[in-house]
Structure 1
């Protein structure tokens, strides 16, 4: 399973205990097998815009770190089949075969009727939980010095179910779908995740004070699921209160794993990213029962594509989450430390979005120099 604590998704439990926990539950566990060369094959979705550049940086760093991984490039250029956005069958087969993928930013074609590619991937592979850790980065100063949050977002329904229609001209109805099945699945994952990283509190964020039936179902399901985890305390908080408290003082949220319905998770995860310096520093994982996709959640930035200005940090840290999910903790820790040491080393080695002057390739080479 994924794990996280004071480093991105790193468990403080002993390796044997981590292994026991990983194999003791079927909730988003990695079941991939090494090939004859002793390597895992990982599907690589380079993405659009700057995706090609930051994916190249990741591949170079992985080669230098001698990570036992082979990349299998995937083309996910969408097509419309019977009005439904679909990704190519070879990509579907690749990801289903390898069980894990790393994804750069994807742009959704405008004016062509395509659904968001991120939504399409979540739907295609039933990626029910989005995991977003946010931790203050030493050496990159923001107004907040003590951010260390873990947020788990239900990834398949809520306001993002796509159920909307025009009632009469000028009146549109959009339906928020909440089911017990999907709620129970993501809540169980949140409790399992908290247990795997030695946290004893799960915070359920909601708005059941207004949406009494939909969010009320999510809250009621959380109370039922909590009975299965007597070692973990469940707490509840309204989404607006959580936002206010986090921007006032994020420190109290270090000790909990937050879990919430889809839209709230979308908003609060970006808010948390803002506290540490933006999406360029934030890793993300989309977890499913069989397949997991790790991604940089920032945009494809076509305005700077091909100029060597892109920051590969978010994709690198997402790949670190991937390595830990696969049980390759030592490689993940080595790459993570090299990334953070590079950022802390000064503006000459940081990209422009981090108030530095380094190019994408220069940043990658500095990371490689610091691999221990």
Structure 2
């Protein structure tokens, strides 16, 4: 594929996807978005570290060929016309499969509300995977930081990250509130004249693929438990459905069965799938961090 502003490295090969697995050549082309603000400094420090790590790990037999693609302020400078996320950036990431990015600014005014959210939506980056681990010698306010070793899987494209909302006092939000009140019989909007409204879609498909990825990760990495964190006690048809669908995936995809009558489940290999209300989770990861792994 030919690009307008993006320069493909003269050396390097594409990473490919076969049978659901990445196949990485010895000289892979990896796209990068430098980022805005501190992103410029972060990337300047990160690239040589990554290159040195590859050199150290493979003794010079492998090397990354970096390819810059544009988003944020730099895209606006390169492409002009208030273009913050060029189509060819998305095309390049689609074609070369792997990309790394720095922090991006949110444009002031109209257009894209959040470039990060736009990237997630357009590329369907549904799983935000965040390892959280203590490194010996690093100061920590947690009493037993050495017990913290978890990997968080966060849904990235649904719920609040769908970005569906209407600003207070606008004609659009008045239409939404009127529909909710007149057509749906909603009478719980305390201050309708001054309220913004947001919608958080949660689907069985979106939940299923996230939970499946989390459970598979736990199996592949010898983890002991997967925890579904939710607010189903308040929002039964979104948060509560997330919990229910999560258990369904565990049962149908991994052969899990109810543990001591449920709702917790256990896989044939002993992996526990459990759930916890978000409030309790935030407390217990401080008081009992060893109980949470994925």
Asked if 1 retains the 8 angstrom alpha-carbon contact of 2:227 and 2:276, the reply is yes
CA-CA distance at 1:173 after TM superposition:
2.5
Asked if 2 retains the 8 angstrom alpha-carbon contact of 1:154 and 1:186, the reply is yes
Q: Return the match for 1:93 from 91, 94, 99.
A: 91
Q: Return the match for 2:280 from 229, 241, 244.
A: 241
CA-CA distance at 1:163 after TM superposition:
2.2
Q: Return the match for 1:103 from 101, 104, 108.
A: 101
1:237-294: CA deviations, max 9, x gaps? Answer: 11000001123342322xx21xxxxxxxxxxxxxxxxxxxxxxxxxxxxxxxxxxxxx
Q: SS of the counterpart of 1:91? A: helix
CA-CA distance at 1:111 after TM superposition:
2.9
Asked if 2 retains the 8 angstrom alpha-carbon contact of 1:32 and 1:99, the reply is no
Write out aligned runs for 1:249-260 (5 A). 249-253=288-292, 256-257=293-294
Asked if 1 retains the 8 angstrom alpha-carbon contact of 2:130 and 2:152, the reply is yes
1:314-351: CA deviations, max 9, x gaps? Answer: xxxxxxxxxxxxxxxxxxxxxxxxxxxxxxxxxxxxxx
CA-CA distance at 1:40 after TM superposition:
0.7
Larger radius of gyration: 2
Q: Return the match for 1:68 from 43, 63, 67.
A: 63
Asked if 1 retains the 8 angstrom alpha-carbon contact of 2:33 and 2:68, the reply is yes
Name the counterpart of 1:288. none
CA-CA distance at 1:139 after TM superposition:
1.9
What TM-score results when the alignment is normalised by the length of structure 2?
A: 0.70
Bigger relative contact order, structure 1 or 2, given CA contacts below 8 A and separation 6+? Answer: 1
Write out aligned runs for 1:111-126 (5 A). 111-126=109-124
- Partners in 1 of 2:131 and 2:247 — Cα distance? 24
Q: How many residues align?
A: 223
Name the counterpart of 1:131. 129
Name the counterpart of 1:332. none
| Unaligned residue ranges in structure 2 (runs of 5+) | 1-16, 56-61, 77-82, 167-172, 178-191, 255-266
CA-CA distance at 1:32 after TM superposition:
4.3
Q: SS of the counterpart of 1:203? A: strand
Asked if 2 retains the 8 angstrom alpha-carbon contact of 1:46 and 1:103, the reply is yes
What TM-score results when the alignment is normalised by the length of structure 1?
A: 0.56
- CA 1:250–1:195 in structure 2 vs 1: closer, same or farther (change >3 Å)? same
2:50 paired with 1:55:
no
Asked if 2 retains the 8 angstrom alpha-carbon contact of 1:86 and 1:120, the reply is no
Q: SS of the counterpart of 2:196? A: strand
CA-CA distance at 1:113 after TM superposition:
4.2
Name the counterpart of 1:225. 249
- Partners in 1 of 2:111 and 2:71 — Cα distance? 16
Asked if 2 retains the 8 angstrom alpha-carbon contact of 1:183 and 1:218, the reply is yes
Name the counterpart of 1:161. 162
Asked if 1 retains the 8 angstrom alpha-carbon contact of 2:112 and 2:118, the reply is no
